[in-house]
Structure 1
Amino acid sequence: MLRTLWLRFGALLGKLLMRVLIVGLVIWGISAAWFAWQHRGPVSALEQVPPGEALMTQDIIQTAVRIVDQHRESTRYLRDAHAKAHGCVKAEVQVLADLPADLRQGVFAEVGKTWPATLRLSNGNAYPQFDSIRDARGMALKLHNVPGKQLLEDQQARGEQDFVMFSHPNFFVSDVAEYRQNVAAQADGKKIMAFFPGWNPLNWQVRHLFIALATLSSPPASPTQTTYFSVSPYKFGGVNAKFRVAPDADSCPAYSVPPQNQALPNFLRSALNQQLSTDRVPACFVLQIQRQDASRFMPIEDTSIEWKESDAPFETVARIKVPAQDFDTPSLNLACDNQSFNPWFGIEAHRPIGGINRLRKAVYEAVSDYRHARNAEASAP
C-alpha cells in the first residue's frame, strides 16, 4: 500500500516538475524573444540626455559622499569604488607602427609614439576587502605629457589622458536613473533592493542582477592576467568606440606567476610584486578599440548592453608594457592612494559620452575633492 502511494506520489511529482520545466522554458523563450525584439538596431550615434538627469546626479553625489564616510579606513578617506589598489605601476604605451590611417586619432595619431603612463590595478568594491572575495577588478590607465586642451577647464595643467576600465564588458545598470536607485539601496545596506525596488515585478531588474553576479568573479591568479573593458563609450576622433585592455603574452617573456596563498588578504598585490619586483619580469597588454556600428544594436546611453564582437570586432591600436620595477613601498602606495583617475581627464578626441560618463564627470570630481580635503585635514598638524 505504502509502496503504491509512494510510486503515485513520485509520478505526480515528476509530472509537476516536468510542467514547471515546460512553463519555465516557455517563459524563457518569450523573454528571450521580447529582449531580442526590444534590443535591435539601428541606434543613435548621438547622445540623448533624458530630463531630470542633473537632479538625479546631485542625489548620487550625496550618496557617494555618504559611502566615502562609511568606508573610511581609520582617519583615511577612500574612494567610493575601487577603494583597494593592488598597486600603481609605471608603464609605456606604444602606438602601433603600422596603425591604419583611420585609427590614427587623438593620442594614437602618431604611429610608433611611446607615452609614459601609470596603471592603477584594483578591486572593484567600495570597501578594501580580502582579494579572495568575488569582485570586479579594475584598471585605470593614465597617459602623461599629453598635449592639447583638456576637457575640464580647471584641469589644463594636467596634460593627461585617462582610460578607466573594469573586468566585465557591460555594466549592471543602464542609465543614471537606475544607478541612483541601485547605489542608494547599497548605501543603505539593502543590496537586494538594488535590483528589486518594490513588489511590482515590472520594476524588477533580473537581467541586471545576473550581470552583477557575472561581474563578481573569482580572483585571477594575478592582476596582469585579466582583461579590462571601458564598459561606457567614448569619442574616437569622429566615431564612437569602447576600449579594452587584454593580456599580450606574445610581447613579453614567458612567465607564470607562482601560486599565491589566497588565504592572505592582499595576495593579488603579492602576485604583482612577485612578477615585477622579485622575478623582474615585465607584463604586456594590448590596448584595443571597438567602433560603434549604429546600424547594429550598439547603444550609447545603455551601459548594460554589451557591444557584440560579431557586430564590431576589437582592433588593436597600441601595446602596453609594464617594466620590472619596485612599486610596493609606503611612499609610493600613499602616492597611489592620492592619485586621481577620471575619464574626463583627457582631450576632445577621446571625450566620454553617454549617461554614465556624464554622471562620472560630476561624481568623480565631487568625491575626489571631498576625499582629498578630508585626508588633508586628517594629516594636518
Structure 2
Amino acid sequence: MLKQTWLWLGRQLGRMLLLLLALGLGGWAAGTLYYKEKHSGPVSSEEQIPPGEAALTQAIIEDAIRIVEQHRDNTRVLRDAHAKAHGCVKAEVTVLSDLDPSLRHGVLSEPGKSWQAWMRLSNGNAYPQFDRTRDARGMAIKLLGVPGEKLMEGARHDDEQDFVMFNHPVFFVRDVAEYRSNFAAQADGKKALAFFPSWDPRTWEIRHLIIALKTLAPAPQSPVATTYNSIAPFKLGPHNIKYRVIPAPENCPQYRLPEPNTDLPNFLRSALYQQLSLDRVPACFALQVQRQNPSYYMPIEDPSVEWDEAVSPYETVANIQVPAQDFDSTEQNRFCDNLSFNPWHSLPEHRPIGGLNRLRKAVYEAVSVYRHERNGETPNN
C-alpha cells in the first residue's frame, strides 16, 4: 500500500513537472514570437527625442553626483563609473591604407594616417573592487592632435577625438526614462528594484535584467584580451554606425601571457604591466564599424538591441597598437585619473546619436566638472 502511494505521488509529481516545463517552453516561445513581431524592421534612420528627456537627464545628473559622493575614497571624489583603472597607456591608431572610400570620414578620412592616443582600461563599477569580482570592463581612447571644430566647446578638448566602450554588445536599459528609474533605484541602494519598479508584472524588465547579469562577467585574462563595444550608435559621415575594438594578436609578435594570479586584487593591472613593461611585447587591436540597415530592426534609440551581424557585418577601418612601455608610475596614474573621456569630444563626422548618447553629453560633463572641482584639480586635456 505504501509503495503504491509513493508510486502515485511520483507519477503526479512527474506530470506536474512536465506541465510546468510545457508552460515554460510555451511562454518562452510566445515571448520570442511577440518580441520578433514587435521588434521588426523597418526602423527610423533619424533620432527621435521623446518629450521630457531634458528633465529626466537633470534628475540623472543629481543621482550620479549622489553615487560619486557615496563612493568617495577617503577625501577623494572618484568617477561615477569606471572608477578603477588598470592603466593609462600610449597607443597609435592607424587608418587602413585601403579603406573603403565610403567610410573615409572624420579621423578616418586619410588612408594610412596614424594618430597618437591615450587609452584608459578600467573596471566598470563606481567603486574600486577586486578584479576577480564580476563586472563590466571599459576601454576609452583619446586621439590627440585632431584638427577641426568639435561638438563640445572648450579649449581643453579642441584637439581631441574620444571613443568610449565597454565589453558587452548591448546596454541594460532602452531609453533615458528607463535609465532614470533604474539609476535612481541604484542610487538609493535598492538594486533589486532597478528592474522591478512596481508590483505590476508589465513594468518588469526581465530581458534587461538578463543583459545586466551578462554584463557583469568574469574578468578576462588581461585588459587587452577582450572585445570592447560602443553599444550606442554614432555618425560616420552619412552613415549610422556602431563601432567596436577587437584584439588582433596576428598584428603583433606572438605572445602568451603567464597564468595570472586571480587572487591578487589588481591582477588585470599586473597582466598589463607584465606584457608591456616587463616582457616588452606590444598589444594589437582592430577598430571596426557596423553600418545601420534601417530596413531591419537596428534601432538608434534602443541600445539594448544588438544589431544583427548577419545583416550588417563589422568592417575593419583602423589598426591599433599599444607599444611596449612603462606606464605604472604615480605621475602617470594621477594623469590618468584626471583625464576626462566623453564621446562628445568629437568631430561632427563622428557625432553621437540616440538617447543614451544624448544623456552622456550632459552627465559626463557635469560629473567631470563636479569631480575635479571637489578634488581641487584641473582636468588634463
CA distance in 2 between counterparts of 1:179 and 1:256 reads: 40
Contact 2:149–2:158 at 8 Å: present in 1 too? no
Contact 1:149–1:156 at 8 Å: present in 2 too? no
Matched ranges for 1:89-238 at <5 A: 89-155=89-155, 158-238=158-238
Contact 1:159–1:346 at 8 Å: present in 2 too? no
CA-to-aligned-CA distance 1:187-207 (integer Å, 9 cap, x gap): 111111110011000000000
Matched ranges for 1:1-381 at <5 A: 1-155=1-155, 158-376=158-376
Local SS of the residue matching 2:173 = coil
Determine what percentage of the aligned residue pairs are the same residue.
62
Local SS of the residue matching 2:154 = helix
CA-to-aligned-CA distance 1:269-324 (integer Å, 9 cap, x gap): 00000000000000000000001111110000001000110111000000000000
CA-to-aligned-CA distance 1:201-252 (integer Å, 9 cap, x gap): 0000000000001111110000000000000000000111001000001100
* RMSD of Structure 2 on Structure 1 (CA): 1.1
Contact 2:134–2:217 at 8 Å: present in 1 too? yes
| Runs of 5+ consecutive residues of structure 1 not aligned to the other structure | none
CA-to-aligned-CA distance 1:320-362 (integer Å, 9 cap, x gap): 0000000011110011001000000011000000000000000
Contact 2:146–2:161 at 8 Å: present in 1 too? yes
Contact 1:150–1:156 at 8 Å: present in 2 too? no
Letter in 1 for 2:38: Q
Letter in 1 for 2:25: L
Contact 1:137–1:166 at 8 Å: present in 2 too? yes
CA distance in 2 between counterparts of 1:174 and 1:93 reads: 31
TM-score, length-scaled by structure 2: 0.98
CA distance in 2 between counterparts of 1:66 and 1:20 reads: 44
Which runs of 4 or more aligned residues in structure 1 lie more than 6 Å from their structure 2 counterparts after TM superposition? none
Contact 2:157–2:345 at 8 Å: present in 1 too? no
Deviation at residue 2 of structure 1 after TM alignment: 2.0
Judged with a 3 Å threshold, the aligned counterparts in structure 2 of structure 1 residues 155 and 201 are, in CA distance, closer, same or farther, namely farther
Local SS of the residue matching 2:224 = helix
Q: How many residues align?
A: 378
TM-score, length-scaled by structure 1: 0.98
CA distance in 2 between counterparts of 1:184 and 1:114 reads: 42
CA-to-aligned-CA distance 1:132-173 (integer Å, 9 cap, x gap): 001110000110000000101234753111010000000000
CA distance in 1 between counterparts of 2:373 and 2:325 reads: 31
CA-to-aligned-CA distance 1:37-79 (integer Å, 9 cap, x gap): 0111010010000000000000000000000000011111111
CA distance in 2 between counterparts of 1:277 and 1:322 reads: 11
